[in-house]
Amino acid sequence: MNEPDYQLETLAVRAGIERSQFNEHSEALYLTSSFVFKNAAEAAARFSGQTPGNIYARFTNPTVTAFQERLAVLEGAESCVATSSGMSAILATVMGLLSAGDHIVSSRSLFGATVQLFGNIMKRFGIETTFVSQTDVAAWRAAVQPNTKLLFAETPSNPLTEICDIAALSQVAKQAGALLAVDNCFCTPILQRPLDLGADLVIHSATKYLDGQGRVLGGAVLGRKEVIDPVFTFLRTAGPTMSAFNAWIFLKGLETLSLRMEAHSRSALELALWLEQQPQVERVYYPGLPSHPQYALAKQQQKTGGGIVAFEVKGGKDAAWRVVDATRMISITANLGDTKTTLTHPATTTHCRITPEQRAAAGIGDGLLRVGVGLEAVSDIQADLARGLR
């Protein structure tokens, strides 16, 4: 199926299907560790790369390939590598494309584990990172060094939903001879396609919206084949591999992705508008609100505001924890992208391992809460939060 022939909603259901001799309607699940060859010559040709085909499930599996092909079509990418988690997708990107002595310019408004990976772990291997404001293009440009190989951002950011100008950062990267990678976890290709805006790489934690029901872990890296090939080489050797079962779950998740993202966004906007009216709420962060600092840019880059809402409660940590503890229906968990609404206190969960100074620089205060708006009735979500806000 070619992208120009069908809409994204159709491709999310149909792309990547290659039926076996049994002509199954639903995608097949291939649970095997290895594949058998007809003879020694075929085995040699497969291992050398002379002929395509499956070899060993660490790096080739038909179910994983189907997921990779479907997601690549949705993102408008030439190639996709599926990984065991979102963080392993970022790790594979850095290890596949960078070497000791290289430099990264990154937004400081990142998921806490990504900050740890760039700021601590990769530093031990000789890869330095300069963290800059998500929204200040001049700061990105000023941070570029002769050895800069990668610019990295997630937009909207976690948890404050800050928006970076993908097209502008693409120009900064090109002028530096570097690559721009965009974590598209919050939007998915249904709401935003970074490659169309000039990014070189798109990264996903498939665990979130691509699954949509909090069942399995997975990640993906997408882009031009020449850029993705070194990432695949790292995966083939090191093995941060997506399992066939998880890929099968993600294929099922993609089928409803468009409907879910529209519903998440619709409910999130309604919740955000309601939160702005609550006297106990200091500030609401949601790209679909006119009060959001990058509202105009979000409307330009994204189809809708997405399903994540963050808000600051008056009274700091104690007041924020009272809201969390008063809930009866909402799930208290750091995951997001689920049909079930989730609630977390970033300063003591997702971003607890970064320093207080780093949290302050990223705007993550003690009164901040993040809601992953699910598919329940918005009135029930509001009532659950209102109990603690009272």
In 3D space, the residue among 281, 266, 375 whose CA is nearest the CA of residue 330 turns out to be 375
Q: Is residue 240 located within the same domain as residue 357?
A: no
In 3D space, the residue among 13, 377, 371, 375 whose CA is nearest the CA of residue 190 turns out to be 13
| pLDDT number for residue 4 | 60
| pLDDT number for residue 14 | 86
Q: Is residue 289 located within the same domain as residue 312?
A: yes
**358 phi and psi, to 5 degrees?**
-65, -40
Work out how many domains the chain is built from and give that number: 2
Is 174:155 a contact under the CB 8 Å cutoff? no
| pLDDT number for residue 263 | 98
What domain range includes position 349? 257-389
Cis peptide before 156 (omega within 30 of 0): yes
| pLDDT number for residue 2 | 53
Q: Is residue 205 located within the same domain as residue 301?
A: no
| pLDDT number for residue 20 | 74
**Tens of pLDDT along 313-361?**
999 999 999 999 999 999 999 999 999 999 999 999 988 877 888 888 7
Write out the E strands in 262-330: 281-285, 308-313
Q: Is residue 240 located within the same domain as residue 114?
A: yes
Q: Is residue 245 located within the same domain as residue 300?
A: no
Q: Is residue 184 located within the same domain as residue 264?
A: no
Look at residues 224, 255, 286 and tell me which one is the last residue of a structural domain: 255
Element (H, E) at 92: helix 86-97
For 110-130, what is the mean pLDDT? 94
Q: Is residue 207 located within the same domain as residue 194?
A: yes
Q: Judge whether residue 264 has pLDDT over 70.
A: yes
| pLDDT number for residue 362 | 78
| pLDDT number for residue 21 | 66
Q: Is residue 246 located within the same domain as residue 263?
A: no
Q: Is residue 336 located within the same domain as residue 250?
A: no
Q: Judge whether residue 99 has pLDDT over 70.
A: yes
Q: Which residues pair with 283 in a beta bridge?
A: 312
Q: Which residues pair with 223 in a beta bridge?
A: 79, 201
| pLDDT number for residue 390 | 87
What is the domain-level CATH number for residue 68?
A: 3.40.640.10
Q: Is residue 162 located within the same domain as residue 286?
A: no
Q: Judge whether residue 260 has pLDDT over 80.
A: yes
Whole-model pTM? 0.94
Look at residues 222, 255, 288 and tell me which one is the last residue of a structural domain: 255
**Tens of pLDDT along 14-51?**
888 787 766 777 889 999 999 999 999 999 999 999 99
Instruction: Tell me how crowded residue 214 is: count the other CB atoms within 10 A of its CB.
Output: 18
| pLDDT number for residue 359 | 82
Average pLDDT along the chain? 95
What is the domain-level CATH number for residue 289?
A: 3.90.1150.10
